[in-house]
Amino acid sequence: MKILLIEDEAKIAELIVAGFRSAGMQYECCSDGNIALSKALSDGFDAIVLDLMLPGVNGIDILRAVRERGKLTPVIVLTARAELPDRLAGFNAGADDYLPKPFFVEELVVRVRALVARLRGQNDTVMLQSGLQLNRISREANWAGCGVVLSQREFTLIEYLMRSPGHIFSRTQILKHVWGLDFDPKTNVVDVCIQRVRKKLIPTHGPDPKDFPIEAIRGIGYRFREI
């Protein structure tokens, strides 16, 4: 899989590139708008990651130019402007997905993969990561032959962790993104919820519970293992 990254901010580009590298993806980087356009129009890229804020050129214009020339390479837009009108402008110009800043590199990688898979006709209703299957419509989770329907909160939690495999999330982060609480109520809500999911999904006789992809990181939080 080869990705074209159009990003002028060198430090962000470096982070993303590191993510691509560790995910075994090939990539090409570009910070200049005009060069980016000619590269985007060439064949050989499975997906394009485009930062909308480029010096001198508007990312939207590049996107529009690519689409006007009939090029259908999937494009994920990175933007500091994730508000509705900006989002709509992005989609109208032909973006396939968007990721607001700040974002986790792991999530970007997962999204790029999902996008490419979708373009290849694969069904993206079901997420599969490290042996855990999650149906995004029915909220059904499957691991080691054991399937259950998760509650809305449990589902949001698992999906959130699963979207950035390998990333260590703190309880504060999880509380903020899953519960919408931007403070730590000094509770064990997160732990209780994870315990419940574990209990639901790990069959009493079967695989070693240690293989369950969600692991606790002492003093920090949780991580969805990337196997």
Partner 1 sequence: MFVGSMLVLYTFNQSMIFLLGNPEVRKIFHERHLEQNLQWNSRESLSTDAGELKRELLGTMRGTHPDEVMVFTQPLGTLPPGQSNQFPLPAAIGGSHVTLTPADKYFPLISYAVVDIDDTHWDATRLISSDQIVLSLVNQAANERGIEEFLNFRSRMVRQIAPLSLLLAIICAILLTRRVLAPIRRVQNSLHSLDNRDLSVRIPVRGEDNEFRDFIVNLNGMLERLEKGFQQASRFSSDAAHELRTPLTIMQGYTERAINEAVPGSRSQIQLRMISDEIERLTSITHKLLLLAQADAGRLRMDFEVVNVSDLLDEMRSDLALLDPPLDLRGRVEKELIVLTDRALLQQLLNNLFSNAVKYNEADGWIDISAWSEAGHLHVLFSNPSQPIDPAFVSKVFDRFSRADLSHSRQVDGTGLGLSLCREIALANGGSLEFRVLGQTQVVVELCMPLHR
Quick one: 104 or 160, whose CB is closer to partner 1?
104
Quick one: 15 or 41, whose CB is closer to partner 1?
15
Cβ pair 96, 75 in contact under 8 A:
yes
Burial call 126-136: b when 16+ CB within 10 Å, e when fewer = ebebbebebbe
Output the smallest distance, CB 48 to partner 1, in A: 19
Residue from 20, 45, 98, 103 binding partner 1 (CB under 8 A): 103
Instruction: Decide: is 121 part of the binding site for partner 1 (CB under 8 A).
Output: no
Q: Give the binding range for partner 1 (CB under 8 A) out of 9-17, 37-45, 61-69, 139-147.
A: 9-17
Instruction: Decide: is 166 part of the binding site for partner 1 (CB under 8 A).
Output: yes
Residues 169 to 198: which contact partner 1 by CB under 8 A?
170, 172-173, 176, 179-189, 192-193
Instruction: Decide: is 210 part of the binding site for partner 1 (CB under 8 A).
Output: no
Quick one: 133 or 172, whose CB is closer to partner 1?
172
DSSP alpha helices (H): ranges in the chain? Answer: 10-22, 33-41, 59-68, 84-92, 105-119, 152-163, 171-174, 189-201
Residue with token string 């209990």: 199
Instruction: Decide: is 149 part of the binding site for partner 1 (CB under 8 A).
Output: no
Cβ pair 15, 105 in contact under 8 A:
yes
Instruction: Decide: is 137 part of the binding site for partner 1 (CB under 8 A).
Output: no
CA-CA distance, 221 to 157, in Å (whole number)? 13
* Nearest residue to 158 (alpha-carbon basis) of 131, 182, 183, 184: 131
* Nearest residue to 90 (alpha-carbon basis) of 33, 144, 50, 45: 50
Interacting residues with partner 1 (CB under 8 A): 9, 11-12, 15, 18, 53, 80-81, 83-85, 100-105, 152-153, 166-168, 170, 172-173, 176, 179-189, 192-193, 217-221
